Structure 1
Amino acid sequence: MDERIDRLRAKANSLDVKPGVYLMKDRTGVIIYIGKAKRLKNRVVSYFRQNKGHNEKVRKMVSLVEDFDYIVCDSEFEALVLECSLIKQYTPKYNILLKDDKGYHYVKVTGGQYPQIQAVKQKLSDGAAYIGPYTSSFSVKQSVDEVNKVFMLPVCGKKFPEEFRKTRPCLNYHIKNCAGICMGKVSPADYQQTVKEAVSYLKNGSADSIDQLKHQMEEAAENLEFEKAAKLRDRLLAIQRLAQTQKVLLNTDKDQDFIGIEHSVSTACVAVLKFRGGQLHDKDDFFFYDVYDTEELLLQFLSQYYVKGGDIPKFISLSIELSDLALYQDYLSELAGYKVNLHVPQKGEQKRLIEMAQSNALEQLSLRLNKKSREIVAQQELGKLLGLSKEPEYIESYDISNIGNDYMVGGMVVFANAKPLKSAYKKFSMKENQTQDDYACMREMITRRFKNYFDESVQDEGFKRLPDLILLDGGKGHVNVVEPLLREMGIDVPVFGMVKDSKHKTRAIASSGGEIQIYGNKAAFRLATQIQDEVHRFAISFQRAKHKKNTFTMGLTSVKGIGEKKAFTLLKAFKTQKAMKEATIEELRTAGKLNAETASALYAYLHPEIQP
């Protein structure tokens, strides 16, 4: 028994069954985790039980705990407030921490006769004018794109007037997003006036710009400057159109945040869409690593993201249900000084916008992990469908192939992050089972695969890693053969079968208790079908290659002076039929240890096209 765990469990059993906060410490006394509990004793004791339900992060944290402190509170709300305060103070290693690593952003107006408006991350001493700083890159980029379109300013990066008339106007000119400055028909004075108006638009907003443009347009028309009035009218219409498109997102003018979460293996992304006055005002994305519980992540995110209390909207929509929803709603209300409503939208516009937040989180996560969003969704769907405790990142699949009682072979394919990992594929030629018995062959293949896992002399990385999921090309019978075998070997990996229909298409997932239909889960269905098709292709390709090789071997033994042993020696030396056919008589003689007559006869057999 572990003396450390016994000691900690005994201490935990002495705690009170009241709300409180606990502080886990390592052997140096450093606080590595802080948590709250409605019932302090029950929660702390759970860490020191032999609990297979603990995820990898918790197991690792518990392995480092040498002692813990605790603070009893009068209520769960008081415990939550204290937990948030202590996490902020100590920033423990194993708590989910919201790091403020966002830099400042600026709007840059370059110098010269033809200045350009750009979104930049740094303020330099380069003579340019800067507007800012802003903390939101989203707002800065959106504003710069908007103002360049409305005022038809160039975004091509060309230097003017040096590059006047050197190239044809780009697409932006033809779609009326640019005035075509590169043609040299806009004077520096007119251009700088346009930039001045654009900067005013950035600083004062569209309402002031609309009033100003209306006044200028009317003044130009009175002075019979119709061309100028027409340009001002077009700019005014562009601003009004842009303002209209910005108002389609919320039907009310209330302030509201939509928080979406997407999770893949141990990495998660939280996306916050911030609506102010009914318009999308800002967007934040945060990444978290070594995360296994999305509810825990969201709870700690809420307490840390809004902890300053400066910009808490009255309405916050969430993508997942929380068991402590009312508790955190009260906590945020106290921070804000007014009632804050937390809810999970179920329909209508609110549902559409929370799905938008989730889509944004998924897209950002796929970019960060260098994975396609559909691959992340496929893993998530398959894990949920099969009731797995975690998303299956690393999947092994097995199939048996044969021709009657001959050439009994098996194939193992691996899918990592929903993509084939061909470097980990394995081939098995049956040694113990030479009859047409798929169950016996599957048992032999699985046994040999995991014996290699336990064998310390085996260095092949494809054998040294345990999969998150095993999929067999077969039904309930295959699962019932393999599951007991894995238990005997001490392997704790979930096993399922893949069942085909009459057209050899994946129909369902088989478990020891029956079948799970997958047609309704498109991403999971596509992934399971891809895996089943690939393992079948790999196994049958190996079986056909072996059959072809054995047929060739039998042909070699038809040459006088060559038996099975010499045929095997020749194949081992040349590896392929092509290499053997390209060999000279002398090379054949040396490799097979043949006499001159047999080597000549073999060469003649390999080259029937040159025989008289």
Structure 2
Amino acid sequence: MTLQDKLQHLPETPGIYLMKDIHGDILYVGKAKNLKRRVRSYFQKNQQHSKKVQRMVFNIADLEIQPVDTELDALLLECRLIQKIHPHYNRVMNYYQNYCYVDFTESGPVLTKSPTTTSVGPFRQYKQLPEIVALLSETYLLPKVNNVTKKMIQQQLPAVEHYSLTERLANCHAFFAGKKTTFFNLLKERIAYSAKQQNFEHAQLIKEQLELCQRLYHYIQQRNKFCQKKQLTLKLPLSENYQKIYFIAYGSIVKTIIQKDDTAVIFPTEKFSLSPLQKEDVDPLDILRSYYTRYHKVTPSDEAI
């Protein structure tokens, strides 16, 4: 069957599609809520197509699709295939090997590619983490801070050097664990000091760094909360009064079933446990958590922790 034949017979269902070149190599993996509408859109004249998309379409010689039950299934399958195949034109979810852990030494937090017994993570924000680690180190006057920065922080935060090193390190660890920390209050004090000295450029810089840290901290808290839930149930509608039920325990889908809308939903009786998060699990977890937050309806089992 030619590419044009395949384009004419696409189903209007959720699924994933694999764009291939003349050699059969996969150029791109995508997901669709409606395969027919999404895939055909690549081959229609559209001024909004980026040059990257135009180059990809020019090189497409074949197409493979895989229909699935729901958009969530498509999202998760797309993620796993990107991680496995590493297609040239996929950027998102294609670099999970670069995700970092944060370990803690006597000198403060350090980034590592592999987990240790004392590390937390992994985190997908690997490009932002060095800036955040540096900001924590200087704000808490950790041992590796240079003398110039040390004098600046002593002026901005005179009380910090009176904290014990153990206490300072504990606050750094608490940040990456999503627990209570003095870090944000200290950053606000630094902003206030710089503004009082009319150093507004520096105050703005610290404010932007504060917002960056707040986003990561909120993400960590939400991820931790989701992974601590023992029983979550997500119901997604299918056709003809059927629905697909996703049973989620500790951040992972443990079972799915398809049944009629009016059928009672009973969570599996097996015992599930929280497993250490691996780099390749970060993106699927974020997809599942985001989808659950947007689409679930609260049930009694959702409150189980």
TM-score by length of 1: 0.26
Q: Which has the higher contact order (CA 8 A, sep 6+)?
A: 2
TM-score by length of 2: 0.47
Structure (1 or 2) with the larger CA radius of gyration: 1
